[in-house]
Amino acid sequence: MKTTSRSVWIVLFLALVTLIPAQAKDEVRLSYPSKVESSKGKEREKLFTPWMTSEALSVQVAERRAKGEQIVYFEYNNATTQSRAIFVSKLKLTGPFSRWSFTNEAIMEAKLNSEIQAGLKPAFVVRTISGAFTMLFVSPDDMAAVRAELTTLGIGEPRLKK
């Protein structure tokens, strides 16, 4: 009888364990967003485009890329739902890139993980004054060149934890 009771408890325990959703071992979380140096704020301010809608910024990204300029940094204002960006002409990305803005941290981290799983690396992850998260992802081959540009703008690397 004791063996049967133990077996029932073991089976129940194993059944409960299988019902608990498993966490992916490769998932990462944002430990610290990229540090944006205030000492270089005036320099960055001169380089920004005017504030515009996300749709207008997408058009500008395509137009400027066709002219040999690459988006390297951008901000999103949650209150006005507008964005602005910094483009550079000396950077030529050879691989894919993506840029994202989110107001929800859980959704931002889900996108962070999906982009990493797709093979891209976060060049920066910044939490703006309005509370939104902005992120730029690039291919591993382009990361060194992008980081060099971001460093001159005073934008540090995000710190991630598994």
pLDDT at 3: 52
Question: Going by C-beta distance under 8 Å and a sequence separation of 6 or more, which residues neighbour residue 4?
Answer: none
Whether residue 81 contacts residue 161, with contact meaning beta carbons closer than 8 Å, is answered with: no
Residue 89 has pLDDT above 50, yes or no: yes
Residue 100 has pLDDT above 80, yes or no: yes
What's this model's pTM, rounded to 2 decimal places? 0.79
pLDDT at 29: 84
- For the stretch 24-57, pLDDT in tens is 456 888 889 999 999 999 999 999 999 999 999 9
Residue 11 lies in a domain: no
Residue 18 lies in a domain: no
Residue 97 lies in a domain: yes
The DSSP-derived string for 41-63 is HHHHHHHPPPPB-HHHHHHHHHH
Whether residue 27 contacts residue 113, with contact meaning beta carbons closer than 8 Å, is answered with: yes
pLDDT at 15: 46
Question: What residue numbers bound the domain in which 115 lies?
Answer: 24-161
Task: Quote the number of domains for the chain.
Answer: 1
Residue 9 has pLDDT above 60, yes or no: no
The per-type count for the chain, helices as H runs and strands as E runs, is 5, 7
Q: What does the mean pLDDT of the chain come to?
A: 86
Residue 98 lies in a domain: yes
Residue 137 lies in a domain: yes
In angstroms, the CA 89 to CA 47 distance is 12
- For the stretch 122-150, pLDDT in tens is 999 999 888 889 999 999 999 999 999 99
Residue 45 lies in a domain: yes
Residue 16 lies in a domain: no
Q: In this structure, are strands 82-88 and 121-127 parallel, antiparallel, or unpaired? A: unpaired
Residue 152 lies in a domain: yes
